[in-house]
Structure 1
């Protein structure tokens, strides 16, 4: 599915996603994943109503499953994370609103687009508090005697340049200049904050200053590139020592997927060339915000590992009473293998999420225009070009044009 999506074959990617669902590869517990993938595929197919519906479903499922996870009690520790309903990561919950905002903008629904843009920022602001509440709930449910610290992690990212950018242009085009100016100032602060991330390439570009002057633009060009991080297994296995039963702590980590793209430009009518500065590194925000949930994943996996080890000891002791030490050793070995095999890191995630977003504003006269998005490597090599036709009937209406090159 991801291969076809990256190749721009969205129809085939959608067919595969639906087949996975029909054949119960995507099960009920994977509803969030299916909805995220369908939302992205629909968006880049130009099916914006369907995209909003899919992303809204993902958002609703995330809320339902998160609330349910706070009430599961001991059951949350006994089940492998893969058996639980997937309630999404912080960054998945955040970035689905980016696509909802752009979709509403495509449909000319400014107010709804603004609500979604504001939710991007709100979710980042509330993430640590939200997962702090989850950690408290898990701590109360933890009935083991081990001293395991239950807490949420911290992130230095609490704001979104892209969210501020979208909010600013939507306020400006809705005749709210004061709100647009405030968003422009907050955009500058958000970019400074993002520049603290390791190897950050985000800079404040002078073209962003257009935000609070709607007379200077009626086009917003947005280019996504690269891929979001991939989850890989990072489990820790502690072998048995003497009477101490071994322990496996199944946890994932995010593996970054570097993009070849370093520069993006838009060429209009083969005459005007515009550079699209990068405004947000979604993949690095994902890596940073994953720190919020990770301590909870580790603590839960540790408790589960302890409970399974205790159960393994109980089975071995019962076998020794029935058949002696030899049977106990055999049963213990088998139980240990079953325990390790049953402990698997949860590697589910939003496969079609892009890694970077570039954007700029421009003003075009009414009429038909040819637009080409060009993606370049550091060497200057043209990696990909996507051509689009834009028809403007109104010189003031805000028209979004969006492209993607996943590599």
Structure 2
């Protein structure tokens, strides 16, 4: 029979564990539950309601200050879907500035201490998220016929792509310095993958049309060549047929339809375990999923003092499916060619995440080793026998696991795919219907533009969105 002292001790231990879990989850885990009602309203087409729920979430503290980039991108995208292009640009401009400010700060903090969980750091956005803040702003400005401002955003997007290799080379240098200076004394040799994305097709598509609309056909042709090269030289991103594009009509006008479909990827946790081998100076990383049967994720040459086996997690990019299979356009009641894919944002996300994923991997392994070895020593000291010793060791295990939660933060409302279509039409007034169809050909939604005026040799841009 349990004594009163043992019973009280047990209650204290359980309380300690519950508190540890609660505190750990609130500070070191990614919170995404508050998005559910917002997403439900968005999927139902109630965009104004979704925007209001987002603001309520911010006011109630769902977006921490360190996560302000997420708020501004989320709010900017919902404003875009509502056709409130000016408000969208205002939010996305702040998001871009926050990304630039927070990246340097988060890298410096991460390099300074291996023990900091990534969830504690300021979130500066993934590279594809930052890239599309510029491209969505360019699309907004194009819709507002503010071409010079749109060109500025496209140039900024192109510059970001040009600087990616240097950006992560500098970050890797700081990480190596941090590991060399860290008191944990864990040094890992690593190389970054080559950045294989330098030319964005959608950016070229927009600038091509805007140059042509301004009568700068030589510049439009140059961007057409860049667009062609994006598909030719980057098949790992543009692994599909280049869309048919037309930017000039001698006698008529060009009507361009741009559709934003689905939602960009999110991150999910990949559970892994580390097994160290002091004789081989080796750290082996294994999948924790039982279905993988201990398959190796990777291994690193690292000097370790003891043989241990402990848990950690990494973020991985996970694609989100869309209900929309095709988008049809009818002009004056006559069907045209379906819109064609120009940008698979999921592919861009995976490619641009590679360099950062390597840094996260190296840092997470180093942190897991330091904390795992520290936990082992603490457990040996805490092993006083009996229930008290068991509770102390359990608390150490729980605390160690909690602080290894993967950072799963990501924006929620960027599109998953961008489709385009260019149609030559005679000058004058036209009725345009854009239909979103499922894989079974069922109409999910439609957008109608009645009495749309298109001038001779002009360019008219239409947008349609289906974020589900």
TM-score, normalising length: structure 2: 0.78
Match of 1:304 among 367, 371, 378: 367
How many residues are paired up?
401
Q: Which moved more, 1:363-372 or 1:140-149?
A: 363-372
- The whole-number CA distance in structure 1 between the counterparts of 2:230 and 2:111 is 40
2:136 to 99, 106, 117: 99
Indicate conservation of the 8 Å contact 2:110/2:121, yes or no: no
Q: Is 2:78 the partner of 1:41?
A: yes
- Give the aligned CA root-mean-square deviation in angstroms: 2.8
- The answer to whether the 8 Å contact 1:29/1:84 transfers is yes
Distance 1:121 1:346, change over 3 A: same
Instruction: Give 1:326 shift.
Output: 8.7
Is 1:286 aligned with 2:349?
yes
Displacement of 1:238 after TM fit? Answer: 3.4
1:219-246 CA distance string (max 9 Å, x none): 3210111221121110313379996444
Structure 1 contact 313–332 (Cα < 8 Å) conserved: no
Q: Which runs of 5+ in 1 are unaligned?
A: none
Q: Distance in 2 between matches of 1:272 and 1:377?
A: 17
Kept in 1: contact 2:253–2:454 (CA 8 A): no
Q: 1:372, 1:385 within 8 Å by CA — same for their partners in 2? A: yes
2:241 maps to which of 196, 203, 208? 203
Query: Aligned in 2, Cα 1:39/1:326: closer, same or farther, shift over 3 Å?
Result: same
CA contact (8 A) 2:252 2:426 kept: no
- State the SS of the aligned residue for 2:125: coil
Q: Once the 2 structures are TM-superposed, how far is the Cα of residue 325 of structure 1 from its aligned partner?
A: 10
Whole-Å separation in 2 of the counterparts to 1:193 and 1:404: 29
Gaps of 5+ in 2: 1-37, 279-305
Deviations 1:132-166, CA, capped at 9 Å, x for gaps: 21111111111243331344333433221111111
Distance in structure 1 (CA, Å) of the matches to 2:449 and 2:48: 18
Whether 1:399 aligns to 2:437 is no
When residues 75 and 9 of structure 1 are mapped into structure 2, their CA distance, relative to the original with a 3 A threshold, is farther
TM-score, normalised on structure 1? 0.89
Give CA-to-partner distance per residue, 1:255-274, whole Å, 9 cap, x none: 11233433222112323534
Q: Is the 8 A contact 1:217 1:361 kept in 2?
A: no
Of 154-163 and 334-343, more deviation after overlay is shown by 154-163
Aligned partner of residue 114 in structure 2, secondary structure: helix
Distance 2:248 2:93 in 1: 29
What is the distance in 1 between the residues matched to 2:227 and 2:353?
A: 23
Per-residue CA deviation, residues 296-352 of structure 1 (Å, 9 max, x unaligned), is 1111212221232243244345546xx579966653332122100221111111111
Residues 165 and 211, structure 1, Cα contact 8 Å, conserved in 2:
no
Q: Point out the structure with max Rg over C-alpha.
A: 2
